Structure 1
Amino acid sequence: MSLSDALADQAGHCAALGSPFMARILPLLAEVWPAGSALDAALRAFTGDIGPKGHSLPLRLASGLHALVLTGQDADLIAAYPPNDVSDQALRTALTGALARHEAFLTQWITSPPQTNEVRRSALLIAGAHALVHRTGVRDLRLSELGASAGLNLMFDRYALDAGGTRLGPEDAALTLSPDWVGPAPMAAPFTVCDRRGVDLNPLDPHNPDHALRLRAYLWADQEHRLTLTNAAIRANAAEVDRGDAVDWLDRRLADAPEGQMHLIYHTIAWQYFPAERQATGTALIEAAGARATADAPLAWLRMEADGETRGASVTARLWPGDHHITLGRADFHGRWVDWADNPA
């Protein structure tokens, strides 16, 4: 895939996810791309798919430019970015200058893969956890998140969910999520998190300024609400995320099953990136642990993942003992809307 094609492909995805600015800037990047530069050489060194399903170089480039804006390093680029509204020509000029002036920064920036932590996905985790607690009656939770990034979604019990007028979550919530909600109201079943931990191949520390910049830069400049939510989640974050292979890590977590606690394993748009062999091994580990689960120490596997359908991601769960397969609903990849199907009553 050529850079121009990759930028156009990513622009389409961004438009579908509600970012007109990203849909506009990515094709303009193709028009002003500095062919023959050191940045161009660094990009061409990548092998394989450079588009959204591969190395995601369009997002790496766009986030590098956004980082320049967020850190105030390029006045011309800042003037061309939201909330300012400028002509395509003015934006082309700003991009051309930024690519030249900050070539070394951008060349280094794109060496790291995209790192995001979409807090709005916690809406599904909140509703899903309440549904599973309602089904089991076990109100003490042990959380294990796979592909946890900076751990912002490990704190979902500290957030509130407004689901079409039904509110779940603490009174002193760090933030409130308000997706467009369709379907039955989520079941309310209060719970307490006794233990929380996550794993990621490259975890970020949200309290490290460089890591926090990377989290913020991958948000899109015309979606200020995402930045507001992320900043609130960073302030409230107290989760620990281990560095390592998720399946090996999970094997160790599953060795312990305290009585009176439900072990909730979950992931949001992460499983698809695991190699097929790791998926098979991880599934076998979870199923084996499920076979050992009891009514006093149930095991739940909550998933928000792409399933080949064109509209959003599926939200499903498996629950042991009994290996119940539960369809909870569908959701936008960024958590903008939820189509809830679960009604355990």
Structure 2
Amino acid sequence: MNLSQAFAAQADTCTRMGSPFMGQLLGILSESWPTDSALGRKFSSFEGDIGPAGHSLPLRIAGGLHALVLSNAAPELAVLYPPNKATDDALRDGVLNALTTHEAFLLDWTDSPPQTNEVRRSAALIAGAHVALQHFNLPIHLSELGASGGLNMLWDHYALEIDGDRFGMNVPSVLLTPEWEGAKPPNASPSIADRAGVDLNPLDPSRGDHLLRLTAYLWPDQPERLKMTRAAASIDATRPVKGDAIEWLAPRLARAPQGRLHLIQHTVAWQYFPAAVQAHGRAVIEAAGAQATKNRPLAWLSMETDGDTTGKVGAALTLRLWPGDLTLNLGRADFHGRWIKWAYEG
């Protein structure tokens, strides 16, 4: 896949995921990317997969442009962004001008891959935790892998609402209302006794520059995502630490306290771990599961792609529980949490 094809493919994906503006922007870049520029030369130097499963170059530059808009650094570009509507010609001229005028900023910005913290994924985490508590009704010792800014570690501050029924806080910081298909999750009263998370590049949303990075990768014509992220970022909470996920998790598993349900969670993170890290992580978690007891149980809740393209494109929701090594297929969810197809009926 060359860069033009990567832009076009990402444009199509964004359009299908409800962002016509991103489709328009990336379609323009597919046709008009300035190859003979410092940015052009930098992007041409990347090797391997430049699409969303690899270096994700289209989203890097789209995020950088959005950062210029959000930070009021490019007012001439901002007038072409949602909620305004621009013609292809006007947007092309504005974007190409921004690529030149703000090239130094964009060269620095695109050194790092995209990083988001999609709060709407917490809908799946709330539902999955309710299932885990149906089996082991204990206070939760929470560990998140690939936690980014830690906003999904805070799902007990949010609420999931399905057809008028609310799961979570009565007055939540964030109310999640995904399109829901299937039975409702079981009732439970989660209590998170302590929480911690890890990421190779953790962000602290209480810092303006870090919050800008998280919000810049939200798509400009989806303001509800921006509103939710800012609301979640305002919560005073423990932030993730920097480190390798499995190296961090192993001693935390060993130290898990009695009288707690140790809940490991990750959303669209595991799939980016190298195969060797995945194998090691699975072995570490399964070994800890083999040592689990009813008074020190372990739950592994994941929302990750499984390659299934037969229906809606999304992630599989899976919960493993120990003791007993029970694997539950909870259903599927949109990568951005817009919908959940719930399969669990226990």
The answer, yes or no, to whether TM exceeds 0.5 is yes
Matched residue, 1:135 = 135
Q: Is the 8 A contact 2:146 2:266 kept in 1?
A: yes
Which AA in structure 2 matches 1:248?
Answer: E
Give the C-alpha shift of residue 32 in structure 1: 2.7
Give the distance between the partners of 2:30 and 2:168, measured in 1 at CA.
45
Q: Is the 8 A contact 1:152 1:239 kept in 2?
A: no
Matched residue, 1:177 = 176
- Extract unaligned runs of 5+ from structure 2: none
Give the distance between the partners of 2:155 and 2:296, measured in 1 at CA.
21
1:154 correspondence with 2:156? no
1:343 correspondence with 2:308? no
Which AA in structure 2 matches 1:122?
Answer: S
Which AA in structure 2 matches 1:14?
Answer: C
Q: Is the 8 A contact 2:333 2:341 kept in 1?
A: yes
Give the distance between the partners of 1:240 and 1:205, measured in 2 at CA.
6
Give the distance between the partners of 1:256 and 1:35, measured in 2 at CA.
53
Q: Is the 8 A contact 1:155 1:239 kept in 2?
A: no
Give the C-alpha shift of residue 237 in structure 1: 4.4
Matched residue, 1:329 = 331
RMSD: 1.0
Give the distance between the partners of 2:103 and 2:71, measured in 1 at CA.
16
Q: Is the 8 A contact 2:141 2:256 kept in 1?
A: no
Give the distance between the partners of 2:165 and 2:45, measured in 1 at CA.
51
Give the distance between the partners of 1:114 and 1:198, measured in 2 at CA.
19
Matched residue, 2:38 = 38
SS of equivalent to 1:236: coil
Matched residue, 1:316 = 318
Matched residue, 2:80 = 80
Give the C-alpha shift of residue 27 in structure 1: 1.3
Give the distance between the partners of 1:308 and 1:32, measured in 2 at CA.
32
Matched residue, 2:115 = 115
SS of equivalent to 1:96: helix
Q: Is the 8 A contact 1:149 1:200 kept in 2?
A: yes
Matched residue, 2:277 = 278
Give the C-alpha shift of residue 31 in structure 1: 2.6
Give the distance between the partners of 2:113 and 2:96, measured in 1 at CA.
23
Q: Is the 8 A contact 1:307 1:313 kept in 2?
A: yes
1:232 correspondence with 2:231? yes
Give the distance between the partners of 1:232 and 1:137, measured in 2 at CA.
29
Matched residue, 2:126 = 126
SS of equivalent to 2:79: helix
Give the C-alpha shift of residue 16 in structure 1: 1.8
Give the C-alpha shift of residue 253 in structure 1: 0.5
- Extract unaligned runs of 5+ from structure 1: none
Which AA in structure 2 matches 1:119?
Answer: V
Matched residue, 1:201 = 200
Give the C-alpha shift of residue 153 in structure 1: 0.2
Matched residue, 1:13 = 13
Q: Percent identity?
A: 57
Give the C-alpha shift of residue 148 in structure 1: 0.2
Give the distance between the partners of 1:333 and 1:8, measured in 2 at CA.
20
Give the distance between the partners of 1:58 and 1:208, measured in 2 at CA.
26
Give the C-alpha shift of residue 209 in structure 1: 0.9
Give the C-alpha shift of residue 172 in structure 1: 2.6
Give the distance between the partners of 1:163 and 1:101, measured in 2 at CA.
47
SS of equivalent to 1:230: helix
SS of equivalent to 2:324: coil
After the TM superposition, list the runs of 4 or more consecutive aligned residues in structure 1 that deviate by more than 3 angstroms: none
Matched residue, 1:48 = 48
SS of equivalent to 1:254: helix
Q: Is the 8 A contact 1:295 1:321 kept in 2?
A: yes
Give the distance between the partners of 1:109 and 1:286, measured in 2 at CA.
36
Q: TM-score, normalised by structure 2?
A: 0.97
Give the distance between the partners of 1:102 and 1:237, measured in 2 at CA.
34
Q: Is the 8 A contact 1:117 1:153 kept in 2?
A: yes
Cα–Cα, structure 1 residues 237 and 163, in superposed 2: closer, same or farther, change >3 Å? farther
Give the C-alpha shift of residue 188 in structure 1: 1.1
Give the C-alpha shift of residue 73 in structure 1: 1.3
Q: Is the 8 A contact 1:134 1:187 kept in 2?
A: yes
Q: Is the 8 A contact 1:160 1:167 kept in 2?
A: yes
